Structure 1
Amino acid sequence: MWTDLLAAYAMWMTMAYLTDAWKLNLKHAAAIVNLFWGIVAIMPVGLQFVVDTFMGYYWMVLLSSFSYIAGLGFLSMLTPPDLAAATATCSAYDPECIGQGQKILFFTALALIAVGFSGHLVSVPQFMADQDSHSNHRDSMLCHLFISFTVIHVPIAGAFAIYYIKPWSMRYGIPAICTLVATLIFLTGSCSYRTYRPYGSPLTVLFRVFVASASKIFQKHPRDSSHLYERRDDYYLIPHTRRLRCLDKAAIILATQPLQQQENNSWRLCRVTEVEETKSVLCMIPICMTLILIGVVSSIGTSFCIEQATHMNHEVGA
């Protein structure tokens, strides 16, 4: 967790790196930075599906950690002074010294760091909760105290230290080394961690409802909703609603096939509860769309505010 904070500080300085080292204009640099943080915000949805369906939280922690190490390592190596000999370019921080290979390496590094950042957001909190639920009260208290100490003090130390670290290779290299050390420490406890097999993703239910309703697009809705398929013995039931009735076709029982045969194919027949869950998710989309304005405002903090703070006069009263 504390290495994630260091890596986040390093990535917040990317705006200054693009404008100072690469000499990009404000709009071009802000577009790159906002695209990166936008991918970081969206990618957890897909990674959560991968975790719940295939990998589990332990392997996602490892995968995202190695992706973090590779991405930060690439960023630390692609500065003009470090790659001048390999790319046959000059070593100054000028646009002429930024070769095509450095640009490819830079965007590759951003993609790897986005996977690492999003993967840790998805896996680390839940993985810690799985370990904490099986530990005693004293160990839990010590763990929370240690986490609180690092979460409070590491950002403060990083905020002061990052200003005095001038070489860009060091600003990205130190988080890469810290992430490598933290990953190796994490691996030492692999034999004692409690892991669980993936139990399936809720997104699979949405996909099944879409596929089942599309396969019965020419079927007529029954007049009585009680004729739709539902397992009455289940303890979790959602009553039928009349909104988005096109999705109700996923729960239509075909008269041409035995019911047991249809129940065995969950991609052709879904429960009313599953259909109603899908309807609820779709009804939340307009609410989520309103958060776009919040994203526009928050993007100023990682672009314009960083640039403003970098070039302002730091002397009080000057």
Structure 2
Amino acid sequence: MLSLNKSSKLYTGDGSVDINGKPVLKQNTGNWRACPFILGTECCERLAYYGIATNLVSYLTVKLHQGNVSAAKNVTTWSGTCYLTPLIGAVLADAYWGRYWTIAAFSTIYFIGMCTLTLSASVPVFKPAECVGSVCPSATPAQYGVFFLGLYLIALGTGGIKPCVSSFGADQFDDTDPKERVKKGSFFNWFYFSINIGGLISCSLIVWIQDNAGWGLGFGIPALFMGIAIASFFSGTPLYRFQKPGGSPITRMSQVLVASFHKWNLEVPTDSSLLYETETSAIEGSRKIQHSVELK
């Protein structure tokens, strides 16, 4: 019994595994030792995203010579796409790939999109000629094609990063350990701080560079930071804790709805220790959420 208790303290209690699928030691993985790589990834990715999104209307009107209405429409459509693609990334992460490989795959797509966008703003053949007086030549279909290819690769890439990075950071803290559970709340404070730092740099320095030093450099710097984000993420691999994919989230959502309606009038004991709960979730790859009264 003593040996069993000692073993339980050495390993996480939430089913976490390493990159090879083996149980992980608490002392060597996760916790704050893994978080700087994840926070760095988020900060650089948000810097890259806002470095494109903040000044995109200006690029479309000034460099691609679109009208204000067309430019605003294109930016709105792209922005909306960026908020729809996380549905794809979330389903893939939960049901098939896991958060780590989803972030890795979509980050690569994101970086390719950033590089394509930088080329479209840097290489003369990929952008229309400058205005001469009041005459502004329109972009060719090929030039539009290269630009929008890069733009929508970014939209697809952000779909695998946005829903997974914060959850992957939360996976680094063992829910069954009271001390680590407290630290998880602190992680989210730093997570949103990282987002705001990336956004602040983009909305000030990057926008200034785009307006004053050129769009090639203004897009190239966010692309560089996206490359740094990928390097930061992969460099932390030996320290990460991984949760196995738990099957389709649609199935689990349906189970919650059915159980909620079925137990609508169920009397719950005031003493939570009297609740009958198994140690692990019935859904493979998932862990149970501890009982609370926060949603009463």
Partner residue of 2:123 out of 78, 83, 86: 83
The match for 1:199 is 246
Partner residue of 1:102 out of 138, 143, 151: 143
Does the CA contact (< 8 Å) of 2:112 and 2:153 recur in 1? yes
Counterpart Cα distance in 2 of 1:5 and 1:183: 13
Q: Which amino acid aligns with 1:83?
A: V
The match for 1:164 is 208
Does the CA contact (< 8 Å) of 1:64 and 1:117 recur in 2? yes
In the TM superposition, residue 199 of structure 1 has moved relative to its aligned partner by 1.0
Counterpart Cα distance in 2 of 1:141 and 1:39: 30
Q: Which runs of 5+ in 2 are unaligned?
A: 1-41, 265-296
Counterpart Cα distance in 1 of 2:128 and 2:202: 31
Q: Which amino acid aligns with 2:262?
A: P
Q: Which amino acid aligns with 2:167?
A: Q
Higher relative CO (Cα under 8 Å, sequence separation at least 6) belongs to 2
Counterpart Cα distance in 2 of 1:100 and 1:164: 29
Partner residue of 1:63 out of 90, 105, 109: 105
Q: Which amino acid aligns with 1:155?
A: G
Matches within 5 A, 1:119-134: 119-133=160-174
Counterpart Cα distance in 2 of 1:124 and 1:188: 15
Question: Is residue 36 of structure 1 aligned with residue 78 of structure 2?
Answer: yes
Provide the aligned C-alpha RMSD in A: 3.3
Counterpart Cα distance in 1 of 2:128 and 2:249: 52
Write the deviation string for residues 168-219 of structure 1: whole angstroms up to 9, x where unpaired: 111211111011012112111112211122111132578xx9xxxxxxxxxx
The match for 2:224 is 177
Question: Is residue 155 of structure 1 aligned with residue 178 of structure 2?
Answer: no
Counterpart Cα distance in 2 of 1:146 and 1:58: 20
Does the CA contact (< 8 Å) of 2:88 and 2:160 recur in 1? no
In the TM superposition, residue 12 of structure 1 has moved relative to its aligned partner by 2.4
Structure label with greater radius of gyration: 1
Does the CA contact (< 8 Å) of 1:70 and 1:109 recur in 2? yes
Q: Which runs of 5+ in 1 are unaligned?
A: 210-229, 242-318
Matches within 5 A, 1:260-271: none
Does the CA contact (< 8 Å) of 2:43 and 2:197 recur in 1? no
Counterpart Cα distance in 1 of 2:186 and 2:49: 25
Question: Is residue 188 of structure 1 aligned with residue 235 of structure 2?
Answer: yes
Question: Is residue 112 of structure 1 aligned with residue 153 of structure 2?
Answer: yes
Does the CA contact (< 8 Å) of 1:68 and 1:176 recur in 2? no
Counterpart Cα distance in 2 of 1:115 and 1:189: 24
The match for 2:130 is 92
The match for 1:20 is 62
In the TM superposition, residue 152 of structure 1 has moved relative to its aligned partner by 4.1
Shift in CA distance, 49/98, structure 1 to aligned 2, threshold 3 Å = same
Write the deviation string for residues 110-136 of structure 1: whole angstroms up to 9, x where unpaired: 221111222111111111110133796
Q: Aligned pair count?
A: 211
TM-score by length of 1: 0.57
In the TM superposition, residue 153 of structure 1 has moved relative to its aligned partner by 3.6
Counterpart Cα distance in 1 of 2:192 and 2:167: 17
Secondary structure at 1:78 match in 2? helix
In the TM superposition, residue 141 of structure 1 has moved relative to its aligned partner by 8.0
Counterpart Cα distance in 1 of 2:183 and 2:261: 40
The match for 2:288 is none
Question: Is residue 8 of structure 1 aligned with residue 49 of structure 2?
Answer: yes
Counterpart Cα distance in 1 of 2:128 and 2:87: 42
Does the CA contact (< 8 Å) of 1:71 and 1:111 recur in 2? yes
Shift in CA distance, 148/29, structure 1 to aligned 2, threshold 3 Å = closer
In the TM superposition, residue 5 of structure 1 has moved relative to its aligned partner by 2.2
Secondary structure at 1:37 match in 2? helix
The match for 1:52 is 94
Partner residue of 1:239 out of 262, 269, 272: 262
Q: Name the structure with the higher helix share.
A: 1
